[in-house]
Amino acid sequence: MKHMVWLLTAVLTNIAVYADDLQCLRYAPEDFIASKRWIPPGKELSSKDIIGPIEEVYLLKLPSLKKQDFYNTVSIVVRVSGKVYRNDYLDCAWEKGAYYCRGECDSGQVWLDRSNRMRFEFVSYSKEGREGPELLLELYPKEQNRWIDGKEVACPKEIKQGNYVCYGKKEKGTYFFCHRSRLSCKASGEHRFGYYHDESAVRAALMRCDMSAPKRP
C-alpha cells in the first residue's frame, strides 16, 4: 500500500510539472487595436478598419527561452468578438537586452524583456486559401514603442494546442502534414506520431515529425 501511495504521488507530481511547462502571459486588451487589413508604417488606422472588441491577448512560451534552439518559438493568441486567432510561429533571439521575436513570413515583430514586458509592433493572423495565405486580422499596439506589462496566469484550455502529434501520410520514410491536435489522431482520421505530456516534448516531437526523424526504439 505504501508503495502504491508513493507511486501515485510521483505520477501526480509529474503531471504538475508538465502543467507548469508552458507559461502563459496575459496582456491588457485595451492596449491593442485589431484591424481587418494591413496598415503601412506611418499610416493612421481608419475607424472603418477596426475590428472589436478585443477580449483577451496572450503570449505563450516555455519558461526559459533559449537562443538558437527550437524551443524559442512563442505564440501570440488573441480573442476578438468571441473568436480566437493564433500565430504560433514567432521565433525569438536575444538582441540588445531583450528577445526579438519575428513572425514566420514577416507575420510579426515583438520584443520581450526578462520581466515579460512586451514592446509590440504588429502580429498578423491568416489562413491558407486557394491562392495562398488570406489575412484574417492584424493586431497593433495603441501606443508605439511602449513596453506593455504582462501578467503570468494559468493557461486557459481553449488557447492551448493539443498534445497529440499527427501526420497525414508517410512515404519512403518521409512524414507529410505533421501537426498538433487536441483530438486523438485516430478520431481525426490521421496517423499518430505520438502523444506527449509536456510542451517541451510536444514541440520536440513535432520537429522530429517535420524532419522525418522519429526516435529509434
- pLDDT tens, 114-154? 899 999 999 999 987 777 778 899 999 999 889 999 999 99
Find the mean pLDDT for residues 90-100.
90
Question: Does 142 reside within a domain?
Answer: yes
> Is residue 7 in a domain?
no
Which residues, other chains included, contact 21 with Cβ-Cβ below 8 Å and sequence gap of 6+?
Answer: 62, 63, 198, 199, 200
Instruction: Kindly state the cell numbers that stand for 160.
Output: 492551448
- Give yes or no: residues 174 and 131 share one domain: no
What digits encode the pLDDT tens for the residues 124-134? Answer: 999 877 777 78
Residue 78 within any structural domain of the chain: yes
Q: Is the pLDDT of residue 2 over 60?
A: no
Higher pLDDT among residues 41 and 163, named by residue: 163
Same domain, 24 and 78: yes
- For residues 112 and 37, state if they share a domain: yes
The answer to the question of residue 8 being in a domain is no
In a domain, 3, yes or no: no
Query: Which whole-number Å values give the CA distances from 13 to 4, 19, 93, 163, 198, in the listed order?
Result: 14, 10, 32, 19, 13
Give the side-chain half-sphere CA count within 13 A for 128.
0
Give the number of other Cβ atoms within 10 Å of residue 103's Cβ: 21
pLDDT at 139: 95
145 is a domain residue? yes
Q: Is the dihedral of CA 140, 142, 144, 146 positive or negative?
A: negative
Are 71 and 169 members of one domain?
Answer: no
CA–CA dist 144, 61 (Å, integer): 23
Could you tell me if residue 4 is inside a domain? no
Structural domain harbouring 134: 20-156
What's the domain count of the chain?
Answer: 2
pLDDT tens digit sequence for 65-88: 665 565 678 999 999 999 999 999
